[in-house]
Amino acid sequence: MGSIYLIRHGQASFGADDYDVLSPLGVRQAEVLGDHLAELGIRFDRCVSGSLRRQQHTASAALQRSVAAGLAAPELEIDAAFNEFDAESVIHGLLPAMLPDEPDALTILGNPKEHRAAFQHLFARIIDRWVTGQYDQPNHETWQGFVDTVRGGLERLLAQAARGDKIAVFTSGGTITALLHLVTGMPAGSAFDMNWQIVNTSLSRLQFRGSEVTLASFNSRVHLELLKAPELITYR
In tens digits, the chain (236 residues) has pLDDT values of 999 999 999 999 765 666 788 999 999 999 999 999 999 999 999 999 999 999 999 999 999 999 998 888 899 999 999 999 999 999 999 999 999 988 888 888 888 878 888 988 999 999 999 999 999 988 899 999 999 999 999 999 999 999 999 999 999 999 999 999 999 999 999 999 999 999 999 999 999 999 999 999 999 999 999 999 999 999 98
Cα separation, 227 vs 41, in Å, equals 19
- Is the four-CA dihedral 230, 65, 198, 102 of positive or negative sign? positive
Give the orientation angle of helix 24-40 with respect to helix 53-68, to 10 degrees. Answer: 40
Q: Check: pTM over 0.75? Answer yes or no.
A: yes
97 φ/ψ sector (left φ>0, alpha ψ -120 to 50, else beta)? alpha
Nearest one of 61, 52, 64 to 13, comparing CA atoms:
52
Domains and CATH numbers, the chain: 2-85+142-232 (3.40.50.1240), 87-132 (no CATH)
Strand spans (E) along the chain: 2-8, 46-49, 76-78, 166-171, 203-209, 212-220
CA distance 157 to 79: 10
Quick check: 63 and 180 in contact, CB under 8 A?
Answer: no
